[in-house]
């Protein structure tokens, strides 16, 4: 069962809240390049497991998008973490109350 599911924010203006800053610090400590992802899921397991849906890039470094939906195409990368993140729950992109 997921401990945290977060839709990653890519607008710097949305990355300034203290909870989001704490999450980015936790990701950095665990070697998770959060800004390259579209969705992060962390599982309360031993060891703690995090799965980042990394956005696919074309040869120019631009996001590859699904032609039907416009959503970025991704591939999953799994990380083993030293601890659980300082936030939990479901954090939705664009929400004004979630980090």
In this prediction, residue 93 carries a pLDDT of: 65
Q: What are the boundaries of each domain within the chain?
A: 2-91
Q: Does pTM top 0.75 for this prediction? A: yes
Binning pLDDT at 50, 70 and 90, where does residue 17 land? confident
Distance, CA of 46 to CA of 59 (rounded, Å)? 38
Of 95, 99, 93, the residue nearest 27 (C-alpha):
99
Of 82, 78, 77, 91, the residue nearest 4 (C-alpha):
91
Percentage with pLDDT > 90 across the chain = 69
Does residue 96 register a pLDDT over 80? no
């Amino acid at each position: 069962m997921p401990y945290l599911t977060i839709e990653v924010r890519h607008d710097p203006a949305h990355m300034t809240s203290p909870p989001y800053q704490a999450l980015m610090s936790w990701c950095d400590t665990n070697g998770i390049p959060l800004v390259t992802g579209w969705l992060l899921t962390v599982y309360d397991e031993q060891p703690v497991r995090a799965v980042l849906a990394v956005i696919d890039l074309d040869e120019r470094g631009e996001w590859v998008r699904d032609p039907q939906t416009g959503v970025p195409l991704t591939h999953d990368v799994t990380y083993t973490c030293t601890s659980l993140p300082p936030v939990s729950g479901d954090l939705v992109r664009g929400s004004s109350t979630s980090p």
